[in-house]
Structure 1
């Protein structure tokens, strides 16, 4: 066995070991498909093809995952060559067999790269998916044409219209991957794959040359009916169906052209802009501007009784955060760094306990818009109406202690909460007030009809009115939309939020505002109409 010869540098390296040429993607943290990776794949492939000692090529990734999708730093920018579709075509056209070794996740363009290879091996625990629909798009590098040829119409439509991830076992069952192997070392599996090929155990195949899937009109109609029932207001899922339908009706090259046409339609859709806005907005809501701290509070006290406290047990245990019930413990034996206080706690009892605790302890009152905070602590953790968990919350600061607020926000994020940091008065309370006013101005049947345009107002609806609702009510939608836009503009002007997009995240995740619209602040600033 010869000594590996490294021929190119990061983010993609080519090396040869015996008769195997290895293309290794090394672009941490998630091996995203940025321009340098795309260019590196082409260059490494060319070196493998020109190396006469190489008989088989293996594509593998370093780190914790295979290619996990596009590089988000390139979102909204003009694509720079080489285009991903051209890279995948080059891989597929290789006269030397190419084996893809998948681990972690192979998502979006990452799965499309694998589909362009001639054999796919997944480590146990790998997940694959085409989640572009969640950003208002469809797979745009051949995925809509290759996946149906491997997995069939039903599976392709399921994955593309839902964006769900598929585990390795299910992917193997449907032909998306050819093998599933045990182990946690993709580099070792790459070496194994080379030996398998040399032993004649791998039979490479070119995906585009596989028979086109049969035109299952029943499946197409079934998915159109399902989408029309569940998400009639969304654009890209229906385009996914059209693209898969093209795979059944057109030659591969023409199907690719149709995919590109439909992809451009999605790119031009305002829904894509709204979903991309939300994608970025959720990443920053916990950040206090000007504070650079990753510190997490390791011990949280709980005082009083609130449904949230019980719901915190599992995520806290997983995150390594200790919860201490101060109703049962003494301050000396449990040195807590912050305390969550139920809003219904007796104020005199609270004050006595506070006087007995360290002066630098953070006191945070847990409130909902139904039982609003009395601001006894200066910091409030506000939950959405009807909430009993910590999926989304608002951390309202009236202390000005930015560092402590950031530490608490970091802790809530560690507990898997979408936390939004605000100042002064609760934005959730203001959104709730505007919503209730709109409910009073409209019949319940109209409110239910909003769901036909993507509003998830289920907690405010009755089952009887759900059955009665028959039609859309665009005017009612506009009324609530405009009311929330006014809230967004007011709280931004008053400096109650660090970013206007924070209001959008609260509206979407706490109240069911349609994510594809981007949020009330996004729409107010873009001048969009409902």
Structure 2
């Protein structure tokens, strides 16, 4: 083996018995930035002119092959060589080029691998084209080469869903030629040597294999239905179909034109905005030098639906869990609920039985609060009542060590009041999970007035370990998400008073991209829950503030939502229907209150609701409850169904204003 040679900083080469091993070393994910592209071209030049080199192997340093393009280059002047040119050079190279896929080969990384004449995957390899999540299609040949290699149906799913496949599935579909059991580079260099003096298999020259047209169209219909206004999945369908109808050059030209058009669209800008916002969320600059504490055992007080979800997420993250409930009977029911939730993941194939057994071996469910003395962090998930929560924390003061962090999962209560009732307020923090907690990605991490920096840093690290997206919020009623959602609801109610109907509001917002309209969400959640809270607050409500009485009247009539078969809508055989009775009830309410109805179009509904959310978001920034507008967008996207391809209310409201003025 020869010594490594630096061509450019992120690309290194070394000789291995006639094979030039090219290693991309561009942390953190070996992205194909300008220096990497130049380095790959230089490596090809070296291999071309070196008579001792008979073949080339391309691999990545660390745990990643190539994690994709450097999206920080988007919007900047292009720097040669462009990735399509690099890929064309690899595919046309007259010596064998083999990809040794040592980890993630995503986006441009997979496109590089597709251009190679052979592919060998390591056991941890992951291959995918996730561009759709950024509002894009692959732009360096992915939509044209992938169908030629694996067929149109597999290609369509990978391109439009954006989900990576593992090494075994890649081998099964023909995406890779071999899997390496142990030494990946040895397997790849051996494979490369076997291709010397053989006709090279150039992916772009392959003929797309015949496909089941019916299956393809059914999948295309599924993708189109799921797109909900996003352009990239539909363009992916068109381009994969083009691979079956056009020559490679025509397909590549159409792909590149589509990529550039989508890259410059508001939709892609919104998705990139969310992409970067997710990665910077939960990283307050003032905590940069603060080391989080090591956590091993997590206590969870309450094993209802929320407590169960938190327990499942925490077990999946590798922690030991001690779950507490009030009685032995309640604890046993909680244990059953946790086991059944994990069993569903096994049944769906998301979790192996071995992993499930390992997780459950770390679970203790008990009615003995003293067992929580072993916990490094205790999260309460009990009834959302101030007295109940403060009583619990005061009890824990006498059980757990002073170093144990106490976290409240309250949605609306003031965590500062809860903290003030404890012996050590500095160890109290908010961890507001969203239900179902084992599925929803968002966690609002509430910085209380006395929360110690180390405690906040630990709470953030814990959330990230649980594969959540943590967003720091200050203390106010509803924190970031529920406060903005309350403003959204309030504006929707004003629209109803002025002339819109629930189905009008829901239709407009679903057309905008929300998975479900506001009033349909009410019905699904159950109207009686919010009704009970409103009744508790009635004595302290400001009589001068506007109050929308329709939900109360629905509850008084037994219309509690979907589970009652009646709410804002009628439900027959599980299907939602507009109910003329609601239209009459609203008309009578307007007449009683003196409102004069007018026609309100979808554009006005959307504009007003977005503007109201953005105004409330700005108020949160002004009050320093939220640190950044991007944090607000992340909360609304991941906690409340705001369409990611619209970027969140703070990103979207100015865009909507431009289109309506």
Q: TM-score, normalised by structure 1?
A: 0.88
2:390 maps to 347
CA distance in structure 2 between the aligned counterparts of 1:37 and 1:66, rounded to whole angstroms: 12
Using a 3 Å threshold, how does the CA distance of structure 1 residues 336 and 64 change in structure 2: closer, same or farther? closer
Cα offset, 1:498, TM superposition: 1.3
2:455 maps to 404
1:57 maps to 56
Contact 1:215-1:249 at 8 Å conserved across structures: no
Cα offset, 1:233, TM superposition: 0.5
CA distance in structure 1 between the aligned counterparts of 2:260 and 2:212, rounded to whole angstroms: 26
Moved more, 406-415 or 6-15: 6-15
Gaps of 5+ in 2: 325-366, 421-428, 525-561, 563-570, 579-600
Q: Given the alignment, which residue of 512, 519, 523 partners 1:453?
A: 512
Q: Note if 1:211 corresponds to 2:210.
A: no
Cα offset, 1:278, TM superposition: 0.3
1:159 maps to 158
CA distance in structure 2 between the aligned counterparts of 1:488 and 1:165, rounded to whole angstroms: 35
> Superposed, which structure 2 residues align to 1:23-34 within 5 Å?
23-34=22-33
Using a 3 Å threshold, how does the CA distance of structure 1 residues 386 and 24 change in structure 2: closer, same or farther? closer
CA distance in structure 2 between the aligned counterparts of 1:389 and 1:218, rounded to whole angstroms: 33
Cα offset, 1:305, TM superposition: 5.0
Moved more, 425-434 or 279-288: 425-434
> Superposed, which structure 2 residues align to 1:217-232 within 5 Å?
221-232=217-228
Q: Deviations over 1:150-184 (max 9, x none)?
A: 1222222111111111222332333222223322x
Contact 1:368-1:384 at 8 Å conserved across structures: no
Runs of 4+ aligned residues of structure 1 deviating over 6 Å after TM superposition are: none
Moved more, 289-298 or 47-56: 289-298
Cα offset, 1:468, TM superposition: 4.4
Moved more, 129-138 or 99-108: 99-108
Q: Note if 1:235 corresponds to 2:277.
A: no
Q: Please say which structure displays the higher CA radius of gyration.
A: 2
Cα offset, 1:459, TM superposition: 4.3
Contact 2:633-2:649 at 8 Å conserved across structures: yes
Q: Deviations over 1:219-271 (max 9, x none)?
A: 66545533432224011111122222332333221221111111122012110
Q: TM-score, normalised by structure 2?
A: 0.72
Contact 2:373-2:399 at 8 Å conserved across structures: no
1:295 maps to 292
Q: Note if 1:514 corresponds to 2:661.
A: no
1:392 maps to 442
3-state DSSP class of the match of 2:625? coil
Using a 3 Å threshold, how does the CA distance of structure 1 residues 385 and 149 change in structure 2: closer, same or farther? closer
Q: Given the alignment, which residue of 432, 435, 448 partners 2:485?
A: 432
CA distance in structure 2 between the aligned counterparts of 1:48 and 1:33, rounded to whole angstroms: 20
Cα offset, 1:447, TM superposition: 5.0
CA distance in structure 1 between the aligned counterparts of 2:77 and 2:459, rounded to whole angstroms: 39
Q: Deviations over 1:356-393 (max 9, x none)?
A: 65556543221135x77573126433334675766322
Q: Given the alignment, which residue of 311, 314, 328 partners 1:313?
A: 311
Aligned residues: 522
2:634 maps to 505
Q: Deviations over 1:287-314 (max 9, x none)?
A: 1231123424414443455533333334
CA distance in structure 1 between the aligned counterparts of 2:112 and 2:154, rounded to whole angstroms: 18
Moved more, 236-245 or 35-44: 236-245
Gaps of 5+ in 1: none
CA distance in structure 2 between the aligned counterparts of 1:419 and 1:93, rounded to whole angstroms: 46
Contact 2:10-2:35 at 8 Å conserved across structures: yes
Contact 1:24-1:61 at 8 Å conserved across structures: yes
